Amino acid sequence: LWQKLNISQDYFIRTTDPKHKAAVTNVLTQLYEKGAIYKGEYEGLYCVGCEQFKMESDLVDGKCPDHNRIPERMTEESYMLRMTELQSTLLAKIKSDELLIQPAKYKKEMISFLEKQILEDISLSRKNVEWGIPLPFDASHTTYVWVDAFLNYLTVLGWDGKGIAPAAWPADVQLIGKDILRVHATIWQILLLHLGFPVTKVLFTHGHILSGGKKMSKTLG
């Protein structure tokens, strides 16, 4: 598929890469010192398969549609990333196409989502979990998957988590699956805004290759 699209895979990265870990630690320190991260408590419906908290509106018959399981209700001490205060800024960038979401139906979907409900501040840490990068300001917590994973887009370019964005950012296109559009169009962009970096130029969203009428998934076999 990459050959047909004339795409080269230049670099294989794991989030356990030492340089990536160091960069994530630098970013967490920066965000905490500027007040974008604060200590709080998070309660929500957590899907283990997605490694993600879900809203009631995301569920079908009370289950995660991708993993066909009922999420667990969890309450835990957590460090939170401020989302709400940047919602209007994000919405304006989507409407103006500074952040261009394609195809157009997905742009409409995201505008509708952001106009109808308030973005809640999100949990970015787990407490007393062995895996993950420890928070530099509280070693009893490790980073939650999204912040760690999203920073790959910058650390893969050699960025050390300090100073200005790498020269190759933003990419001309980020190609993503439709099930992760919402987190890429909200959490990832707000993380960039907190850092003072340009938002993504284009989020191009594709559909799924289906298996048995459902999205392929390791969880479903």
**Which tens digit of pLDDT belongs to each residue from 177-211?**
988 999 999 999 999 999 999 999 999 999 887 88
CA–CA gap between residue 40 and residue 57 (Å, rounded): 24
Task: State both tokens at 33.
Answer: 């010192």
Q: What pLDDT shows up at residue 207? A: 86
Quick: pLDDT tens for 125-149. 988 788 889 999 999 999 977 788 9
Q: What is the mean pLDDT of residues 151-159?
A: 93
Residue 86 above 90 pLDDT?
yes
Q: Strand 138-143's sheet: what is its strand order? A: 125-127, 138-143, 134-135
Q: What pLDDT shows up at residue 188? A: 97
Q: What pLDDT shows up at residue 54? A: 82
Residue 22 above 80 pLDDT?
yes
**Torsion angle of C-alpha atoms 35, 84, 196, 39, degrees rounded to 10:** 30
User: Which of helix, strand or coil describes residue 157?
Assistant: coil
**Which strand (E) or helix (H) includes residue 72?**
strand 72-81
Residue 108 above 90 pLDDT?
yes
Q: What pLDDT shows up at residue 140? A: 93
CA–CA gap between residue 11 and residue 153 (Å, rounded): 11
Q: What is the mean pLDDT of residues 96-117?
A: 97
Name the nearest CA neighbour of 143 among 168, 161, 163: 161
CA–CA gap between residue 147 and residue 199 (Å, rounded): 15
Report if pTM > 0.95.
no
Name the nearest CA neighbour of 129 among 137, 140, 119: 140
